[in-house]
Amino acid sequence: MSGTAAAAATAAIPSIPRDDDGPVFRAPWEAHAFAMALSLHERGVFTWPEWAASLADEIKRAQAAGDPDTGETYYLHWLATLEGLVARKGVASTETLHRYRDAWDHAADRTPHGKPIELKPEDFAG
Amino acid sequence: MGPGCAAADTRQAWAIAPIFDVMSHDHDHHHRHDHDHSELSETELRVRALETILTEKGYVEPAALDAIIQAYETKIGPHNGARVVAKAWTDPAFRKALLEDGSKAIGTLGHVSRVGDHLVVVENTPARHNMVVCTLCSCYPWEMLGLPPVWYKAAPYRSRAVKDPRGVLADFDVNLPKDIEIRVWDSTAETRFLVLPMRPAGTEGWSEEQLAELVTRDSMIGTGFPKSPGAPS
């Protein structure tokens, strides 16, 4: 299952941080970003060469803007690539992404510490 | 999803705290820091936004996503926690500081990123064994221990650990003599716990690096012991 898909991804994208067993992540959100790309690829939203080219563009852009290129920001570029491809492929517009981002922000704001944060329709109101 | 955050419902995986640690901050966080409400970093907001949209549109199956993530749950690795434990075993001043204020002591190491506001380190002794659980949700010091294991998030572990800690530990092959006290620490989003296991016998003169190799993730949750010197890894 996912092991095979992940192996295909790491073979196609040599820059993915990894150890002997596969990709490594510095934080849970990085694993989420990685997994989303895998799912979208399996759905045929993009090919790995297409992904690699978009990611390379993203990294170039970030470096031109002063990204330190230490590897710590790798998944930030990965996330930006996801957002860009999702918008370009007509899956979700930039506006939609912003709307959901703001809704999650609202959800976090109204959720007391220690409680799970859940997105509710009212979070889209403001 | 009630306050118990039933982890079995994968649709609600978002609501299980440790996947996106509400107390953690990426370097790009911009939120004010107060303690009345939860916080998500800018990056976490974007990731959640994307994942919600892709799920709603059917591009992403939460269960499939969970499966991919779980395949790598150990891949952030317990390296940070292991280094902290090994240092505490070799440096009495650090050990003292660590038990007094875990977050502060770990902050002085520099190489470890943020560990949240209140990381409490609890020490195992010959008379007392500590184990960590979160009955409310599944808060977890992932900066120290990597992504949480699946069983940690599972309802049976959470509910049984409090009622029957000895039984749960036995399931992990941790069998403790009756006269050893077991203390169960219930994590919250504000306070997480890290177990400082006892240094294995036969490691006199070992370096921090060598000792860190013996420290397992489970030994820092309290559901296991460090590896013995010479045991196959």
* DSSP state string for A86-117: HHHTTSS-HHHHHHHHHHHHHHHHHSPTTSPP
Whether pTM exceeds 0.80: no
**A3 to chain B: which residues are within 8 Å by CB?**
71
Contact across the interface for A32 and B51, Cβ inside 8 Å: yes
B11 in contact with A at a CB cutoff of 8 Å?
no
> pLDDT tens across B164-202, in order?
889 889 888 889 888 999 998 887 766 788 999 999 999
For B53, which of A43, A100, A108 is closest by C-beta distance? A100
Contact across the interface for B65 and A35, Cβ inside 8 Å: yes
Question: Which pLDDT score, from 0 to 100, does residue B94 have?
Answer: 95
Task: Give contacts of B 55-94 with A, CB under 8 A.
Answer: 57, 59-61, 64-65, 67-69, 71-72, 75-77
**Binning pLDDT at 50, 70 and 90, where does residue B31 land?**
very low
Whether the CB-CB separation of B172 and B179 falls below 8 Å is answered with no
Most confident of A16-25, A93-102, B117-126: A93-102
* DSSP state string for B17-50: GGGG-TT---TT------SSS----HHHHHHHHH
Interacting residues of B202 by C-beta distance below 8 A, sequence separation 6+: B228, B229, B230
**B76 to chain A: which residues are within 8 Å by CB?**
24-28, 31
Cα B104 to Cα A109, B99, B100, distances in angstroms: 27, 10, 9
> pLDDT tens across A37-73, in order?
989 998 999 998 899 899 989 988 988 888 876 667 8
Interacting residues of B51 by C-beta distance below 8 A, sequence separation 6+: A32, A36, B14, B60, B65
Q: Is the pLDDT of residue A18 over 90?
A: no
> pLDDT tens across B195-224, in order?
999 999 999 999 998 999 899 888 998 999
Instruction: Name the average pLDDT for chain A.
Output: 84
Of B220 and B21, more confident: B220
| DSSP helix, strand, coil percent of chain A (3-state; round to 5) | 65, 5, 35
Nearest CA of chain A to the CA of B179: how many Å? 34
Of B156 and A93, more confident: A93
**B153 to chain A: which residues are within 8 Å by CB?**
none
Q: Is the pLDDT of residue B96 over 50?
A: yes
**Binning pLDDT at 50, 70 and 90, where does residue B81 land?**
confident
Question: Which pLDDT score, from 0 to 100, does residue A27 have?
Answer: 76
Backbone angles phi, psi at B133, to 5 degrees: -150, 160
HSE at residue B131, side-chain half, CA atoms within 13 A, is 28
What is the percent of chain B with per-residue pLDDT over 90, rounded to a whole number? 33
Interacting residues of B122 by C-beta distance below 8 A, sequence separation 6+: B130, B132, B183, B185, B193, B194, B195, B196
What is the percent of chain A with per-residue pLDDT over 90, rounded to a whole number? 39
For A79, which of B17, B36, B47 is closest by C-beta distance? B47
